[in-house]
Amino acid sequence: MAKSVKHILKQELEIKVGGKLWLESEGERFFGPGPMELLEKIEETGSISNAARAMNMSYKKAWELINHLNTQTNFPVVVPQAGGEKGGGSTLTAEAIELIEYYKALRKRFKTFLENETERLKI
């Protein structure tokens, strides 16, 4: 029989099992909620700087996340253009879109896991 903690935790508190997921390589995280949101915002706004602004992240950090991410993939997932119409911008490759889709699916499975575990707290 599985261990239960129902009688230990205060039932009136709405206690949940929470968590966080990421992709890591040699122990270093390179993709998670932050980069995920960043990719989406780049797609929406057309540039790394706009995306960073939109999510209250410094440009430097955003650039580093993207740069790191690009080193983990066979081809860059974000293609930068310095200069040009409107000063330039960045676009997502098809691979970035696939990565987003993958992460959404992964997140959904994780959500189910967390919900199951939260349910189990009440048993």
Partner DNA sequence: TAGCGTTATATTTTCAAATATATAACGATG
Partner DNA sequence: CATCGTTATATATTTGAAAATATAACGCTA
Residues near DNA, by CB under 7 A: 47-50, 56-61, 63, 66-67, 80-90
Distance in Å, CB of 13 to DNA, minimum: 21
Q: Using the rule CB under 8 A, is 8 a contact of a copy of itself?
A: yes
Distance in Å, CB of 36 to DNA, minimum: 16
Q: 87 touches which of DNA, a copy of itself, none (CB within 5 to 8 A by kind)?
A: DNA
Residues 87 and 44: beta-carbon distance below 8 Å: no
CB contact set of 57 (below 8 Å; sequence gap of 6+):
34, 38
Distance CA 13, CA 92 (A): 43
Q: 108 touches which of a copy of itself, DNA, none (CB within 5 to 8 A by kind)?
A: none
Distance in Å, CB of 120 to DNA, minimum: 28
**Which of left, alpha, beta for 118 (phi over 0: left; psi -120 to 50: alpha)?**
alpha
